[in-house]
Amino acid sequence: MEFNELMQSFAAKYGLADLKVDNGTAVLEIDGMTVGFIHDPVTDSVMVVAEIGYPETDVSANFASAMLKANYLFAGTAGAVLCQNPETGAYALMREYRLIEHDPKTFEGALETLLNSADQWRGVLGAINEEDAEDMEDDEAGPPAEDESPTGGFIRV
């Protein structure tokens, strides 16, 4: 299936009438989250990047620790990667999808899974930012408990 067709189908299902695809890219605002779609015609895949938020000043050590643990074997990310945009400092969840493997229904399902996971991570970031602010006051900063990731922990090998 072609990128433009999948994007139009997704936009139509969710009432996103303002979808504009420009040179294989599209940016949507979904439930207060900025989501970017970048089509790579060489691999016929689309990279989906869901922005989950910004760290509070320099208090992001706990979240960075939680991100690294969740990225391990993708256990806490539903197969996506947690990362930080080097240009804006925003944290994001991103995943690449091969278009040949998707029709509109499976693509929508994959995006829903990614966006649900990103929404959970927005909550984790908010909680950790609050915890970090409190810890800085108490000067007792430390890594988050394992149950603070959306999946409740990560696999140990």
Residue 56 has pLDDT above 80, yes or no: no
- Is pTM beyond 0.75? Reply is yes
Cβ(33)–Cβ(115) below 8 Å: yes
pLDDT of residue 146: 43
- Tally Cβ neighbours within 10 Å of residue 40: 14
Positive/negative CA dihedral, 93, 45, 79, 29: positive
Helix axes 3-13, 104-138, angle to 10 degrees: 70
Q: What topology does CATH give the domain 3-148?
A: Yope Regulator; Chain: A, (3.30.1460)
Instruction: Give pLDDT, residue 55.
Output: 81
Q: Is the pLDDT of residue 92 over 90?
A: yes
Q: What pLDDT score does 62 carry?
A: 75
CA angle 40/46/48 to nearest 5° reads 130
pLDDT tens digits for 77-87? 989 999 999 99
Query: Domain map of the chain by residue range?
Result: 3-148
